[in-house]
Amino acid sequence: ITMRVCLILLWIRIVVQPHILQCKAVQVFPPVNLTLTVSALAQVLLSWKPSPDQEQKNYTIRYDVKILTPLFEEYDTMKTHSFRTAVLHNGFSAHVRTLLLHKGLQVTSDWVTAELQPPPGAENTAVTGLSCVTHFTVSSTVSLHCTWLPGEGAPEDTEYFLFYRYETYTEECLDYIKDKWNRNTEGRFSVTHIAPGEIDELIVIHINGSSKYAAIKPFQQLFNQNAIEKVNVPRNVTVFFEQDDLVATWEKPLSAFPEGCFEYEIYLINLKSGNKQVSKTYLHDFRLRIDVTCRYSIQIRANHHMCSVSGFWSDWSEIVYIGKYYICLLFFVTKYLITQIPLFSVLQKKTRTILRASV
Ligand SMILES: *[C@@H]1O[C@H](CO)[C@@H](O)[C@H](O)[C@H]1NC(C)=O
Ligand SMILES: *[C@@H]1O[C@H](CO)[C@@H](O)[C@H](O)[C@H]1NC(C)=O
Ligand SMILES: *[C@@H]1O[C@H](CO)[C@@H](O)[C@H](O)[C@H]1NC(C)=O
Ligand SMILES: *[C@@H]1O[C@H](CO)[C@@H](O)[C@H](O)[C@H]1NC(C)=O
């Protein structure tokens, strides 16, 4: 046993020793001049320089980056800069260190840190309850509409300003709706640079403000463009009876997404019984065995689940009625008379006989 332990120890020495030597020979210096620059709304450029003391020869140098706030993120890169999209109203901080790779070995430096302070502003002056919706319009562009509440601590004279950024394009809103204090609480862009039909691109919203009495804290939020799209209503809804089936057909909503992207809900009410049912389908038609002597109302709505995160359901399409009400009513009244009034019990028997005869 002693022999074997010795052998193992010897083996470890042989394998490990050259590495130790190499590590000792190589010094790894942290990067220098790490800077954070706000390069666009909710966008930071991190940049740094390799340490002038760092030997470059024959080593692969990479950098480990750790974003600490507002959201933790870790990655490594060979470049000496990177862009990050993040809300900045609570500040931003990051660590970077040098990572030296040589013959399967990794040696790291100490971290260097940089941070952006939150922008100034008095407590509770930032907007709250921000919500935004986009629409795909008939002109094949995207409109954007946002609403918010003034911060509880915002003076009455506060004026809020809404901006959006999409990729490299930034625009300020010019069309506002105001609350009773004359503060902007809604903003609209009837046309934007948001590309319709893109998947998972971000829309950056930035709202800042000014007041004579306080510094107003800015507020930012990032939205997935697909998640805030209010889908348009399905078009050309047609409903008819085919033998004992109710059949509904429709066409996909006005949208940049192709047909296969949509899920539909069909809301069917039997106006005789009051029965309501909601069915789902990925097709563009719907068929249901029903009592064709009754009257029904049908509405259809759409969402684009299949191709992206789901947006807001479309409104329900206009109500389409089918079936003749009076037949239903006649059936209902006869049934009521037959079952409820004793005088008609004879009639009931006769009716039954007639019914049986007719079957
Ligand atoms: C770091 O910044 C200082 C001051 O701006 C500058 O003098 C120096 O050259 C920079 N170092 C590198 C490696 O760029
Ligand atoms: C890199 O390493 C090779 C062999 O390992 C050596 O011949 C070469 O001179 C080295 N290059 C530099 C720039 O040190
Ligand atoms: C609001 O933000 C925009 C875009 O960053 C900036 O140009 C403007 O000066 C800001 N306004 C106020 C009042 O802070
Ligand atoms: C809806 O129907 C009308 C007339 O039948 C037709 O002109 C139109 O192109 C249809 N709409 C769509 C989206 O296909």
Per-residue pLDDT of the chain (359 residues; tens, 9 = 90+): 444 544 444 444 444 444 444 545 678 999 999 999 999 999 999 999 999 998 877 789 999 999 999 999 999 999 999 999 999 999 999 999 999 988 888 999 999 999 999 999 999 999 999 999 999 999 999 999 999 999 999 999 999 999 999 999 999 999 999 988 889 999 999 999 999 989 999 999 999 999 999 999 999 999 999 999 999 999 999 999 998 899 999 999 999 999 999 999 999 999 988 999 999 999 999 999 988 889 999 999 999 999 999 999 999 999 999 997 655 555 555 555 555 544 444 444 443 433 444 33
> Which of 57, 101, 105, when mutated, tests ligand 2's pocket best, judged by the most ligand atoms within 8 Å of its CB?
57
Atom of ligand 4 nearest to the CA of 251: 13
Specify the residue for token string 């409903």. 239
Residue nearest to atom 5 of ligand 2 (CA): 58
Atom of ligand 4 nearest to the CA of 236: 1
Q: What CATH code would you report for 128-224?
A: 2.60.40.10
pLDDT of residue 27: 86
pLDDT of residue 291: 87
As given in the structure block, the two tokens for residue 212 are 């004579």
Residue nearest to atom 1 of ligand 4 (CA): 236
Please, are residues 231 and 248 in contact by the beta-carbon 8 Å criterion?
no
pLDDT of residue 180: 86
Q: Which residues line ligand 3 (CB under 6 A)?
A: 41, 161, 163, 208, 210
Quick one: DSSP state of residue 230?
Answer: B
Quick one: DSSP state of residue 229?
Answer: B
Please, are residues 77 and 61 in contact by the beta-carbon 8 Å criterion?
no
Do the domains 128-224 and 23-116 match in fold? yes
Q: Which CATH number fits domain 23-116: 2.60.40.10, 1.10.730.10, 3.40.640.10, 1.10.620.20?
A: 2.60.40.10
pLDDT of residue 166: 98
As given in the structure block, the two tokens for residue 154 are 């915002």
Residue nearest to atom 14 of ligand 4 (CA): 251
Please, are residues 146 and 203 in contact by the beta-carbon 8 Å criterion?
no
Domain boundaries, the chain: 23-116, 128-224, 235-323, 328-358
CA 244 to CA 210: how far, in whole Å? 66
Atom of ligand 1 nearest to the CA of 50: 13
Please, are residues 109 and 41 in contact by the beta-carbon 8 Å criterion?
no
Q: Please provide the DSSP assignment of 44-95 as one string.
A: EEEEEE--TT---TT-EEEEEEEEEESS-EEEEESSSEEEEE---TT-EEEE
Ligand number nearest CA of 29 is 1
Q: Which residues line ligand 4 (CB under 6 A)?
A: 235-236, 251
Residue nearest to atom 4 of ligand 1 (CA): 33
Does any ligand 1 atom lie closer than 6 A to the CB of residue 120? no
CA 310 to CA 329: how far, in whole Å? 42
Question: How is domain 235-323 classified at the architecture level of CATH?
Answer: Sandwich (2.60)
Please, are residues 162 and 203 in contact by the beta-carbon 8 Å criterion?
no
pTM of the model: 0.80
Q: 43-49 and 60-69 as β-strands: parallel, antiparallel, unpaired? A: unpaired
